Chains A and B, each alone.
Chain A
């Protein structure tokens, strides 16, 4: 059996690990256009500031490929898939035959076709090379001000990593609030306050209309709709990701916004599987299929695909949108349905402690379908499990809302009363990442 996997990230790793649980003999070939061993994609921004070095950037140890008997073809792009003759075509025309194929090509950053998008100093932030280019730029050029277009997950993860960078950043966001696809106004307001306090400029309800360049073609400012100009020497475009499906043209694999798969991660073409950021996943709480580009789903779908490719019958029950983000000293989690405006079918409970803690639970009848946790994230996983399982909630909802369903205070007092307490919990600011 010859397994070919296109892509070398979370999905591919999941697939290899599950294939090898069932099949020690088959040949596994990983093809990726990135020239690196598998690395932690979300950590590329940490790498920029040096808080994570090359070794820590690796998602699996160096001997992982050898241990799992995987052949890699890195730095090689697949341009076409020919299911009838069971092979894929590389950029240089070479073909690679497969018995089972997994498409794990993830997403690529969407670069809006605005004026000046090709200017020097405009970056995406989706792969290690993007981070390397950005790094080279800020260390060569004199960058005092930077603009990040799109206040989504990637943008906010940039701040976590760029604490301590000597650049004044401004956020430009089309929606009326930051992280508007996941946060309601209250939560978003709390995060915005922290951004402002940290000296980050926030321009919401703003459309980036053009990137202005100097004579050498380098970024000098960004112009917003309405005429405002923000001077800057670097721009990061983080408006969103699109599934990487160009290679499927003419292959007969069904693509909607992402690749369409069944609950076993099979495409409509026999022997061809797809998983991760490139597919449309069943969303348990929104009850529809769409692209949910997060790594836990990528890895677990990869595993399901791997098992099924190796001959097992595993079902994927679907996923939910999940975000976890430490922003400065505040931790933030969102799960499932979080935006509840104009949703009379949902019951919303909120709990707020000044500017520090915000917890919101969203119920549909007797099921928990979503949550936002700001400041107090303890036991977020219990809520996630409740949402994913869609088990009826019989527990006191108010107690759930306040946090721990079990009384954490009693535990802490008891702990503090002990003589040999070595450390006492105080809700303090998070350390910068080492």
Chain B
């Protein structure tokens, strides 16, 4: 194994400023499908859904390929969010935190947003007539799903950090397998 090179100035800056970003980054390759994030989510949002015991606002899908590839599915917090555009009640709106959030007491279950989410990350819960989606848990320092994720497939960090990490992982693998280092 190659120990990572000492951080560049850029990397240091990224780490320093990482805490200022609220993106929940999905690193699907690291997901083992353990469902801990799903449970954490259920518990965190239970109090918001008195009508029915919680359905998580995150899910893990398994792609139909040999060995299974797990894909955590949650809101990507689109810049020009189609779910906001399509919302007939105005209950889905970007708030001051920068996240697109849902005022569930105003949702009527028209499923316009379910029809519009390109990531399939909005769940139509027919029993309570609510369209549930991840609202970013911005009242937490770290969202519960991220805290629960041991393999660190879910992380709160900036895109630059994420990309850098991925490149380093790749380099490590190449070094290990091809170069035998």
With A and B bound together, what is the CA distance between A333 and B122 in angstroms? 15
Binds A, one of B11-19, B111-119, B138-146, B159-167: B111-119
Min Cβ gap B24→A in Å is 19
- Contact status of A324 and B127, CB under 8 A, knowing A300-B85, A407-B62, A415-B38: no
Partner of A381, one of B35, B46, B122: B122
Are B129 and A382 within 8 A (Cβ)?
Answer: no
Provide the residues of chain A in CB contact with B150, threshold 8 Å: none
Q: Closest residue of chain B to A18, judged by CB? A: B80
User: Scoring A residues 364 to 388 as 1 if CB is less than 8 Å from chain B, else 0, what string do you get?
Assistant: 0000000000000111111011000
**Nearest residue, chain A, Cβ from B60:** A411
Count residues of chain B with CB under 8 A from any CB of chain A.
47
- Is A414 an interface position by the 8 A CB rule? yes
What is the 8 Å Cβ interface bit string for chain A, positions 317-329, against chain B (1 contact, 0 not)? 0000010111001
Which chain A residues in 300-326 approach chain B with CB under 8 Å?
300, 303, 322, 324-326
CB pair B111–A324 under 8 Å, yes or no, is yes
A-B contact pairs, 5 of them (CB 8 A): A381-B118, A381-B119, A381-B120, A422-B54, A429-B126
3 tightest CB-CB pairs across the interface, nearest first?
Answer: A385-B118, A406-B61, A381-B117
Q: Which residues of B contact A58 (CB under 8 A)?
A: 90
User: What residue of chain B has the Cβ atom nearest to residue A331's Cβ?
Assistant: B111
Beyond A377-B114, A384-B116, whether A430 also contacts B127 by CB under 8 A is yes
Is A43's CB within 8 Å of the partner chain B? yes
Measured CA separation A322–B62 after assembly (Å): 29
Residue of B nearest to A329 (CB): B126
Instruction: Mark B residues whose CB is within 8 Å of A.
Output: 33, 35, 38-39, 42, 46, 51-55, 59-64, 68, 71, 80, 82, 85-86, 88-90, 105-106, 108-120, 122, 124, 126-129
A395, chain B: closest CB distance, angstroms: 11
A418 to B82, CA, bound (A): 33
The distance in angstroms between the C-alpha atoms of A212 and B124, with both chains bound, is: 43
Q: A295-B88, A333-B111 are in contact. Are A423 and B54 (CB under 8 A)?
A: yes
**A56 close to chain B: CB less than 8 A:** yes
Contact of A414 among B35, B116, B117, B126 (CB under 8 A): B35
Are the CB atoms of B106 and A295 closer together than 8 Å? no
Least CB distance from B76 to A in Å reads 12
Q: Which of A41, A423, A427, A430 has the most CB of B within 10 A?
A: A423
In the assembled complex, the Cα of A415 lies from the Cα of B122 at a distance in Å of: 18
- The reply to whether B62 and A42 form a contact with Cβ atoms under 8 Å apart is no
A411 CB contacts on chain B under 8 angstroms:
59-62
Tell yes or no: A296 within 8 A of B by CB. Answer: yes
A175 at interface, CB cutoff 8 A? no
Q: How far is the CB of B29 from chain A (nearest CB, A)?
A: 15
Please encode chain A, from 395 to 434, with 1 for each CB lying within 8 Å of some chain B CB and 0 for all others: 0000100001011101100110010101101011111111
Residues of B close to A428: CB separation below 8 A: 126-127
The answer to whether A335 touches B115 (Cβ under 8 A) is yes
B33: min CB distance to chain A, Å: 7
Q: Are A423 and B39 interface neighbours, CB within 8 A?
A: no
**Additional A-B contact list (11), CB under 8 Å, known A377-B114, A407-B61:** A42-B88, A52-B108, A322-B115, A324-B112, A333-B114, A380-B114, A381-B115, A407-B62, A423-B54, A423-B55, A430-B109
Q: What residues of B have a CB within 8 angstroms of the CB of A322 in the complex?
A: 86, 112, 115-116
Note all chain A residues with C-beta closer than 8 A to B114.
324, 333, 377-378, 380-381
In the assembled complex, the Cα of A41 lies from the Cα of B89 at a distance in Å of 9
Is A225 in contact with chain B by the CB < 8 A criterion? Answer: no
How near does chain B come to A409, taking the closest CB pair, in angstroms? 9
Q: Would you call the interface of chain B mostly helix, strand, loop, or mixed? A: loop
A339 beta carbon closer than 8 Å to chain B:
no
Are the CB atoms of A40 and B89 closer together than 8 Å?
Answer: yes
B129: which of A415, A418, A422, A430 is its contact (CB, 8 Å)?
A: A430
A300 to B89, CA, bound (A): 15
Residue in chain B with minimal CB distance to A330 = B126
Q: Which residues of A contact B129 (CB under 8 A)?
A: 326, 430-434
Residue pair A40, B85 in contact (C-beta under 8 Å): no
Q: Which residues of B contact A423 (CB under 8 A)?
A: 42, 52-55
- Evaluate whether A326 and B109 lie within 8 angstroms (CB atoms) in the complex, with A381-B82, A381-B118 already known: yes
- The winner among A381, A410, A430 for most chain B CB atoms within 10 A is A381
Q: Does A60 contact B (CB under 8 A)?
A: yes
Contact of A399 among B51, B62, B64, B90 (CB under 8 A): B64
Tell whether, in the assembled complex, residue A433 and residue B108 are in contact, meaning their CB atoms are under 8 Å apart: yes
Query: Across the interface, which residues of B come within 8 angstroms of A434, CB to CB?
Result: 51, 129
Chain A, 324-356, CB within 8 A of any chain B CB: 324-326, 329, 331, 333, 335
CA A425 – CA B132 in complex, angstroms?
14
Cα distance, A430 to B117, chains bound together (Å)? 21
Cβ 8 A contact of A60, one of B90, B115, B120: B90
Q: Within the complex, what minimum Cβ distance (angstroms) separates A284 from chain B?
A: 15
Closest Cβ neighbor of A295 among chain B residues: B88
- Closest A residue, CB atoms, query B68: A410
Q: How far is the CB of B92 from chain A (nearest CB, A)?
A: 12
A263 to B46, CA, bound (A): 45
Given A331-B111, A382-B120, A407–B90 Cβ distance below 8 Å?
no
B83–chain A nearest beta-carbon distance, Å: 8
A385 and B78 CA atoms in complex are apart in Å by: 13
Rounded to whole angstroms, the CA-CA distance of A399 and B85 in the bound complex is 29
Contact between chains at A59 and B90 (CB < 8 Å): yes
